[in-house]
Amino acid sequence: MRDTSARMLALLSLLQSRPDWPGPELAERLRVSTRTIRNDVARLRELGYPVDAETGRTGHYRLGVGASLPPLLLDDEEAVAIALGLRAGTGLAGTRESGDRALAKLDRVLPHRLRRTVAALTAATSRGPENTGSDAPDPEVDPTLLRTVAEAIRDRTLLRVAGTADGSARLLEPYRLVSWERRWYVVVREPRDGRWTVLRADGLALRTPGGPRFSPVEPPEDLTDVVLREVAAAGWSVHARILVHAPASEVLARINPAVGVVEPRDAQSCVLVTGADSVATVAAYIGMLDLDFRVDGPPELVTQLRTSGERYLRAVAYPG
Question: For position 1, what pLDDT does the model report?
Answer: 45
Q: Which value, in Å, is the radius of gyration of the alpha carbons in the chain?
A: 27
Whether residue 309 sits in one domain with residue 242: yes
Domain-embedded: residue 303? yes
Domain-embedded: residue 279? yes
> What CATH number corresponds to the domain at position 258?
3.30.70.250
Single residue among 181, 198, 221 that ends a domain in this structure: 221
Q: Is the pLDDT of residue 51 over 70?
A: yes
Q: Which of 161-170, 183-192, 196-205, 267-276 has the lowest mean pLDDT?
A: 161-170
Single residue among 180, 197, 221 that ends a domain in this structure: 221
Whether residue 196 sits in one domain with residue 164: yes
Mean pLDDT value across residues 201-211: 83
Q: What is the pLDDT of residues 210-265, one digit of tens each?
A: 888 999 999 888 887 777 767 665 556 788 889 999 999 998 888 876 667 788 99
CA distance 158 to 21: 37
Whether residue 159 sits in one domain with residue 117: no
Whether residue 213 sits in one domain with residue 272: no
Q: What is the pLDDT of residues 52-106, one digit of tens each?
A: 888 776 678 988 876 455 666 677 787 778 777 776 655 555 556 667 777 777 7
Domain-embedded: residue 131? no
- Considering its fold, how many domains does the chain have in total? 4
Mean pLDDT value across residues 20-29: 90
What is the torsion angle, in degrees rounded to the nearest 10, for the CA atoms of residue 27, residue 33, residue 36 and residue 37? Answer: 20
Q: Which domain holds residue 47?
A: 4-63
Between 89 and 294, the higher pLDDT residue: 294
Whether residue 173 sits in one domain with residue 100: no
> What CATH number corresponds to the domain at position 150?
2.30.30
Whether residue 86 sits in one domain with residue 53: no
Whether residue 160 sits in one domain with residue 211: yes
Q: Contact, 149 vs 201, CB < 8 A? A: yes
Cα angle 240-243-246, degrees, rounded to a multiple of 5: 135
Q: CA torsion sign, 163 to 164 to 167 to 171?
A: negative
Domain-embedded: residue 248? yes
Whether residue 259 sits in one domain with residue 203: no
Mean pLDDT value across residues 9-29: 86
Whether residue 86 sits in one domain with residue 41: no
Q: Which of 117-121, 188-192, 288-292 has the lowest mean pLDDT?
A: 117-121
Domain-embedded: residue 42? yes
Question: For position 136, what pLDDT does the model report?
Answer: 55
Look at residues 258, 241, 244, 251 and name the one whose alpha carbon lies nearest to residue 302. 241
CB atoms within 10 A of CB 170: 18
> What CATH number corresponds to the domain at position 45?
1.10.10.10
Cα angle 43-48-50, degrees, rounded to a multiple of 5: 90
Q: Is the pLDDT of residue 126 over 80?
A: no
CA distance 146 to 50: 29
Question: For position 188, what pLDDT does the model report?
Answer: 92
Name the pLDDT band for 145 (thresholds 50, 70, 90): confident
Mean pLDDT value across residues 7-21: 84
pTM of the entire predicted model: 0.52
Q: What is the mean pLDDT of the chain?
A: 80
Between 34 and 230, the higher pLDDT residue: 34
Domain-embedded: residue 206? yes
CA distance 155 to 69: 23
Q: What is the pLDDT of residues 156-179, one digit of tens each?
A: 999 988 865 556 788 999 999 887
Whether residue 242 sits in one domain with residue 209: no
Whether residue 50 sits in one domain with residue 95: no
Q: How many CA atoms lie within 13 A of 161 on its CB side?
A: 25
Mean pLDDT value across residues 266-293: 87
Mean pLDDT value across residues 190-197: 89
CB atoms within 10 A of CB 114: 18
Whether residue 285 sits in one domain with residue 251: yes
Domain-embedded: residue 8? yes
